[in-house]
Structure 1
Amino acid sequence: MTTLDPRYNILFEPLQIGPVRTKNRFYSVPHAIGMGMVGMDGMIAFRAARAEGGWGVICVEETMIHETSDHAPLKTPELFLDEHIAPTARLVEAIKAHGALAATELAHVGSSGVAWQARAHPLSSSSKFPHYHINPITARTVDKKDIAAFRQWYVDAALRAKSAGYDIVYVYCAHDLSLLQDFLVTNTNKRTDEYGGVFENRVRLLKETLSDVKDAVGGSCAVAVRFAVEERRWQSNLNIRDDGRRVIETLADVPDLWDVNVSDWSFDSGSSRFFEEGQQEPFINFVKQVTDKPVVGVGRFTSPDAMVRQIKSGILDLIGAARPSISDPFLPNKIQEGRIEDIRECIGCNACIAELNHYTRVRCTQNPSAGEEHLQGWHPEDYPAAHDASQSILVIGGGPAGLEAATTLGKRGYSVTLADAGTEWGGRLVREQKLPRLSAWGRVVDYRLSQMQQMTNVDLYLDSRLSAEDVVGFEADHVIVATGAKWRGDGLGRNHHDAIPGHELDHVFTPEDILNGRLPEGEVIVYDEDYYYMASSIAELLAAAGCKVTFVTTASDPVPWTAMTLEMGHVIKSMNEKGIEIVVGHSIAAIESGAVSLTRELTKEEGKRSADAVVLVTGQLSDDALYHELDSLRDEGKIKSLERIGDCLGPGQIAQAIFDGRKAGMNFGK
């Protein structure tokens, strides 16, 4: 059995946080999972899996301290009623059963929420529209009585947290999602009383709230503050040269723990397309210079060497993680057991966040068990044994779905053969990971291949295109078809129900052409009805190759799904920097030699644009011919058992393909 590499001993040192002590330096920071009080069983299963995996501290996400605070329809935990204590205690017990400390991020989201559940008026330091919502209701300005009530809400919630058994209680002031941050920032605080104007006034409520909570529970619970040291979305006084630093200097010894980050969420949890591992270091590396209290921060850390450097360099005391702990709940245990190669590294795609922004439970591209621990009964590491290990399974297609299905079935103990027609594993990812900024997505392939290469019951065959006759001759007990999908070239998509006139012309390209290295020249229109990463990635690729690119989309905003993954602003900024013209709200009416006819969606007004080439990014078609041929043979009794998964079943996100693969692997034999 392998053991801990001595280089990583420091990661497993205990650490004192106020009155409590961690077993190691791994800290699962607060992050939403979209289950809330009505999904308590799911919350328990999700958090307990991370505690079982070795995280020293498991922190529950924004836990609302009053009915005027919520992110509805996203479900969140609550501690503003005594009846919330008992179900919360079940959650805390499950976390602590594995030796982890349990923490809760008590929060009032102020003007970032709209208090939909209670149909109340949202609150703000100064009257303003709510953040992140288009609800036509203005958050009301809190008065002195409201401020006194707010402080009492925090105390009452902290006492309930203590009763529920929490070890660490947070005061939340980050991410543009906090009433306390509204008071700090001059953009949002326009008050003229003792809570507005000069810094000493704007920091007053945070100082009072922290002191109140410490007085209430500080003898038995550690009190932490989550604080954004810099607002990166726009210019403000909250930055590391001004008030971002002054807050920590002023309150240095008040909390027992500083949990530091940047605002807003799109920068704090920036995707791997735009932010590298450890990207927050330049913003948080001053904190330990001005406080003696422990400091935790995040950086999408998956490398234990990077974690050690953060500690030895005096930047962090605790390694915080949200997305890496979703991707691999057992990351600490794997490091401790010397199984670095088994870490399921986060790819930073933000599929987890997209689900939350879409008001459903968390999911993960790398870890399909995330969010399914209770509903499906899926454990991130333990797999049910094969019902009959003598049965053989043939998986056709080595893309994300096929790789996951074969990995899952192999771990269950079945005899698995995985065959792919290509010369590299990965299916769509063979080419997509070579697009601008998508290299981290290759971890999807690397992890599954490394797992299967350790299994003697899994055979891997590349350059093996199988015909229906070949499959029949294989005589497998079960056949899984995961042959993926291809980008269509006729222009059918969200807006076009018929082929675009002129799509067959030689100067019209598809993503398949671009991915295969066939690039246009001159003036190029990239037309997007896919609404995710493909069109913008192609636009940037062509701009880098010297083309003059115009990005045209039927959507009212470019790449709208990237708003869910927190990438839209970064995508737009990047395209602007590369000189790509963005035209929204237009569809292609027809393509002709040297020009494209466009229709403005709002007015149906038509116009023309010159174009030497057009790239149509409108949709995909399942590559399912083999499946249908095999299906007919199954009806004839020549195939015993058959199913299709992933893009072969229906084109979608890689996260869906991985989920399909896990489901196929887990359900076989039921």
Structure 2
Amino acid sequence: MDLFTPIRIGALTARSRVVMPPHSSAIGNLWGTEAEAGQAIAYLAERARAGIAWSTIPGRISNVLAPGFEPSGISAVVHGAFRGANYVERVRRYSAAMHEAGALAATQLTMNGGYPHAPSDRFATPVNFLAPHAITVDELALLLDEYEFSAGTARQAGIDVLELHMNHEDLTQQFLSPSTNDRTDHYGGSLENRMRLPIEVLERARAAFGRDGALGVRMNLAVPGSYELEEGVEIARRIEATGLVDYFHMVYGSTWGHPSYIQPHFYEPGTWSGLARRYRETLSVPVVYTGLVNSPRLAAEIVARGDADLVGMARAHVADPQLLVKARAGEHQSIRPCVGGNDCINRRYVDGLPFGCAVNPHAAREVDGPWPGSARVDRPVLVVGGGPAGMELAALAAEAGAAVTLVERADALGGQLRTAALAPSFGRLGEYLDWQERRLGSLGVQVRLGTAFGAADLAAADPGAALVVATGARERVPDLPGVHLPHVVGGRAALRGAPVGRRVAVVVQDDHLAPLAVAEALADRGCEVTLLYSTHVPAQLLGRYIVGSVLGRLDSLGVQVRIMEEVVAIGDGVVHVRHTYSGRAHELTGFDTVVLACGGTSEAGLYALAREQGRADVHVLGDAYAPRRLVFATRQALVIARLLAGLDR
């Protein structure tokens, strides 16, 4: 059996074994402006045409609130999508696009617990202490009406597959768990009582949705502290026995923990699919498994060994919308790999920036059409700097017909990303760089390694060529007393295996992943590592869908994290710190080595020189402008490529 074998889901036939779980809310607001809705549909339609069985759009139902109460938090909703004035019209357009592409259209019924409703006034997680409201029986009755209305409206709008979101701290999951449900009425106590609300929701949803569409349940394989695997299997068995559902969608993880349900690259792909097999062995309806399925080969293996009937792949489809087309053709090496860094999510919910994929700058720009289309770069392009920014620009320009030369002073392409890939859990960055090298080779880009490029080279360069300066950033060395002592080592050197002592202090002046990669690599070598942050939290630019995973992994390796301690001097065996806010000074002793993980400083001299010489067609790209992350580099590369092609001026 392969991924393209159809399967029956209730009254429907799914044409393949791959579905897209919901993630499109970050890409384009289906309920927003015409342009936003058009982008959302274009994104989903491109992936539907490639062969998925169905795509799923989010579906939060309206809240039932006391007059004037303002729910707050990342998942707070007052008026859900189903009550929107344009819901039916917009979803009909989405459904029509899916059907035209040969796929089914799906949505969820979601009511996040704790914003503000919960079964009881207990907190659901150890990282969120926003006090919930213990929902009353009367409010539950109104909420059930809302579920029924939403299900009926979804069907009216052309939705084929409706899924109850009974996971990730949804209100229905919180009712299942004795850790969040200590009610003494008929919704609490026994498992039968704790299951009452989810089953009532399914009864109302099925009545409104009908039998000609498919109704499913998305639930956690297990929830530590809530229910373990066998009780989860029993919950699913009892739900199936009602005859209300046509499939189960199994996932693992929470919205905040280790792992997050959107598992980043700190885990092996498909780690929990074996748990899904226990459900599949018990249930007679199809089972979907979702969880870090990052390639069609892995998806096919999961189906072939009987872990699940279908698999969910979201981020892999963000990275390469054509992955199923390429898989069907046997072109697995050409699939653009997802690196699992979760910047696609973090950009929206942490940085407040538009959606973007670290490896696919075309994601969320589907309305532009495929690159290059009719766009052409009509002159040679010289790219100086072979890090991820320069590699992406070189490939894009070559795809648009330019003769491209890429010059890199090191003996290998990849820049800082190649160094970061040396950390134990960061190997997928290396896989991405290998893919980029194959891409450059197939496009005929002339790559010159081990070649410095200076003033004389600039003067001799073809004046008719576009020059792109992607020279990256040198390692930042903070201006601290003692920073040049023999036992002080740069973070990049530490990743490359420079000798360090047993006890290591890592001075952090970087709000993202790089210092954590350094700490992981050192701890994996047997070092006792202490991270020193001057901020009030570690890695404050990491979102909740990744930070728990990395901090959990580092704790398992014995890494210590100290916060609000600004390093002011380094001595022999001592690090002098002061409290960031009070200024109280003290000393940390006993360290053999101090490692600096302080980010970078732009190397933009070549760009400045080119401008001084009057070169007009010159561009600065990536860290050479300002040190940022991979997603910033690749997205900027596309913008510059479009400028070179005469677009977006």
Aligned equivalents of 2:625 and 2:81: distance in 1?
Answer: 39
Instruction: Answer yes or no: is 1:577 the counterpart of 2:556.
Output: yes
Distance 1:212 1:51, change over 3 A: same
Which residue of the partner structure matches residue 407 of structure 2?
A: 419
Question: Of the candidates 108, 112, 133, which is equivalent to residue 109 of structure 1?
Answer: 112
Which residue of the partner structure matches residue 163 of structure 2?
A: 170
178-187 or 252-261: which moved more? 252-261
The AA in structure 2 aligned to 1:607 is H
Q: What are the equivalent positions in structure 2 for 1:342-357 lying under 5 Å apart? A: 342-357=334-349
Distance 1:308 1:388, change over 3 A: closer
Aligned equivalents of 1:394 and 1:258: distance in 2?
Answer: 53
Q: Contact conserved, 1:528 with 1:551, CA < 8 A, in 2?
A: yes
Q: What are the equivalent positions in structure 2 for 1:331-370 lying under 5 Å apart? A: 331-358=323-350, 360-370=353-363
Q: Output one character per residue of 1:321-375: Cα deviation in whole Å (capped at 9) or x when no partner.
A: 111111111111111233222211211111122124325543211111223334x
TM-score (norm 2): 0.91
Aligned equivalents of 2:72 and 2:555: distance in 1?
Answer: 35
Aligned equivalents of 1:472 and 1:61: distance in 2?
Answer: 55
Q: Output one character per residue of 1:488-544: Cα deviation in whole Å (capped at 9) or x when no partner.
A: 11x2xxxxxxx2222232322222332443232143211112122222222233334
Q: Contact conserved, 1:423 with 1:462, CA < 8 A, in 2?
A: yes
Aligned equivalents of 2:106 and 2:206: distance in 1?
Answer: 15
Distance 1:56 1:464, change over 3 A: same
Which residue of the partner structure matches residue 19 of structure 2?
A: 27
Q: Output one character per residue of 1:285-336: Cα deviation in whole Å (capped at 9) or x when no partner.
A: 2111121111111232233332222112221111211111111111111112
Q: What are the equivalent positions in structure 2 for 1:174-213 lying under 5 Å apart? A: 174-176=167-169, 178-213=170-205
Secondary structure in structure 1 of the residue aligned to 2:271: coil
Distance 1:26 1:354, change over 3 A: same
The AA in structure 1 aligned to 2:300 is V
Instruction: Answer yes or no: is 1:538 the counterpart of 2:541.
Output: no
Q: Output one character per residue of 1:86-139: Cα deviation in whole Å (capped at 9) or x when no partner.
A: 22222222232211111001211121x3xxxxxxxx211113458698685x32
Which residue of the partner structure matches residue 119 of structure 1?
A: none
Which residue of the partner structure matches residue 455 of structure 2?
A: 468
Secondary structure in structure 2 of the residue aligned to 1:263: coil
Aligned equivalents of 2:247 and 2:182: distance in 1?
Answer: 30
Alpha-carbon offset, residue 203 of structure 1: 0.5
Distance 1:134 1:301, change over 3 A: closer
Q: Contact conserved, 2:262 with 2:291, CA < 8 A, in 1?
A: no
Alpha-carbon offset, residue 27 of structure 1: 0.6
Instruction: Answer yes or no: is 1:657 the counterpart of 2:646.
Output: no
Question: Of the candidates 373, 381, 406, which is equivalent to residue 384 of structure 1?
Answer: 373
Question: Of the candidates 225, 229, 239, which is equivalent to residue 236 of structure 1?
Answer: 225
Which residue of the partner structure matches residue 528 of structure 1?
A: 508
Distance 1:419 1:132, change over 3 A: farther
Question: Of the candidates 558, 577, 583, which is equivalent to residue 604 of structure 1?
Answer: 583
Aligned equivalents of 2:38 and 2:377: distance in 1?
Answer: 31
Distance 1:363 1:25, change over 3 A: same
Which residue of the partner structure matches residue 269 of structure 2?
A: 277
Secondary structure in structure 1 of the residue aligned to 2:229: coil
Aligned equivalents of 2:280 and 2:75: distance in 1?
Answer: 38
Distance 1:10 1:520, change over 3 A: closer
Aligned equivalents of 2:126 and 2:383: distance in 1?
Answer: 44
Which residue of the partner structure matches residue 495 of structure 1?
A: none
Alpha-carbon offset, residue 241 of structure 1: 2.3
Aligned equivalents of 2:248 and 2:333: distance in 1?
Answer: 32
Q: Contact conserved, 2:260 with 2:545, CA < 8 A, in 1?
A: no
Instruction: Answer yes or no: is 1:250 the counterpart of 2:228.
Output: no
Alpha-carbon offset, residue 430 of structure 1: 1.9
Question: Of the candidates 431, 443, 450, which is equivalent to residue 419 of structure 2?
Answer: 431
Aligned length: 628
The AA in structure 1 aligned to 2:160 is D
Question: Of the candidates 193, 207, 210, which is equivalent to residue 218 of structure 1?
Answer: 210
Aligned equivalents of 2:376 and 2:555: distance in 1?
Answer: 56
The AA in structure 2 aligned to 1:651 is P
The AA in structure 1 aligned to 2:564 is G
Aligned equivalents of 2:507 and 2:565: distance in 1?
Answer: 9
Alpha-carbon offset, residue 216 of structure 1: 1.6
Aligned equivalents of 2:201 and 2:487: distance in 1?
Answer: 64
Distance 1:485 1:547, change over 3 A: same
Distance 1:538 1:386, change over 3 A: same
Secondary structure in structure 1 of the residue aligned to 2:47: helix
Q: What are the equivalent positions in structure 2 for 1:301-316 lying under 5 Å apart? A: 301-316=293-308
Distance 1:372 1:519, change over 3 A: farther
Which residue of the partner structure matches residue 117 of structure 1?
A: none
Percent identical residues: 26
Q: Output one character per residue of 1:595-651: Cα deviation in whole Å (capped at 9) or x when no partner.
A: 121112243211112233322222310111122112212x2xxx3510011111110
Aligned equivalents of 2:524 and 2:309: distance in 1?
Answer: 41
Instruction: Answer yes or no: is 1:509 the counterpart of 2:485.
Output: no
Q: What are the equivalent positions in structure 2 for 1:81-96 lying under 5 Å apart? A: 81=84, 83-96=86-99
Aligned equivalents of 1:99 and 1:132: distance in 2?
Answer: 44
Aligned equivalents of 1:667 and 1:95: distance in 2?
Answer: 33
Secondary structure in structure 2 of the residue aligned to 1:616: strand
The AA in structure 2 aligned to 1:616 is L
TM-score (norm 1): 0.88
Runs of at least 5 residues in structure 1 that lack an aligned partner in the other structure = 1-8, 114-121, 492-498
Which residue of the partner structure matches residue 558 of structure 1?
A: 538
Instruction: Answer yes or no: is 1:144 the counterpart of 2:137.
Output: yes
Which residue of the partner structure matches residue 118 of structure 1?
A: none
Q: Contact conserved, 1:386 with 1:414, CA < 8 A, in 2?
A: no
The AA in structure 1 aligned to 2:323 is L
Which residue of the partner structure matches residue 494 of structure 1?
A: none
Q: Contact conserved, 1:353 with 1:565, CA < 8 A, in 2?
A: no
Alpha-carbon offset, residue 575 of structure 1: 3.0
Alpha-carbon offset, residue 63 of structure 1: 3.2
Secondary structure in structure 1 of the residue aligned to 2:106: strand
The AA in structure 1 aligned to 2:642 is M
Q: Contact conserved, 1:66 with 1:80, CA < 8 A, in 2?
A: no
Secondary structure in structure 2 of the residue aligned to 1:483: coil
Distance 1:387 1:573, change over 3 A: closer
Runs of at least 5 residues in structure 2 that lack an aligned partner in the other structure = 66-70
406-415 or 568-577: which moved more? 568-577
Question: Of the candidates 590, 601, 610, which is equivalent to residue 621 of structure 1?
Answer: 601
Which residue of the partner structure matches residue 68 of structure 2?
A: none
Secondary structure in structure 2 of the residue aligned to 1:525: strand
Q: Output one character per residue of 1:447-477: Cα deviation in whole Å (capped at 9) or x when no partner.
A: 2222222224x22222222223223323142
Aligned equivalents of 2:471 and 2:279: distance in 1?
Answer: 51
Aligned equivalents of 1:449 and 1:642: distance in 2?
Answer: 24
Distance 1:304 1:83, change over 3 A: closer
Distance 1:43 1:606, change over 3 A: same
Secondary structure in structure 1 of the residue aligned to 2:230: coil
The AA in structure 1 aligned to 2:164 is V
Question: Of the candidates 98, 118, 125, which is equivalent to residue 119 of structure 2?
Answer: 125
Which residue of the partner structure matches residue 253 of structure 2?
A: 263
Aligned equivalents of 1:622 and 1:19: distance in 2?
Answer: 59
Q: Output one character per residue of 1:366-395: Cα deviation in whole Å (capped at 9) or x when no partner.
A: 111223334xx3x4x542334354x11111
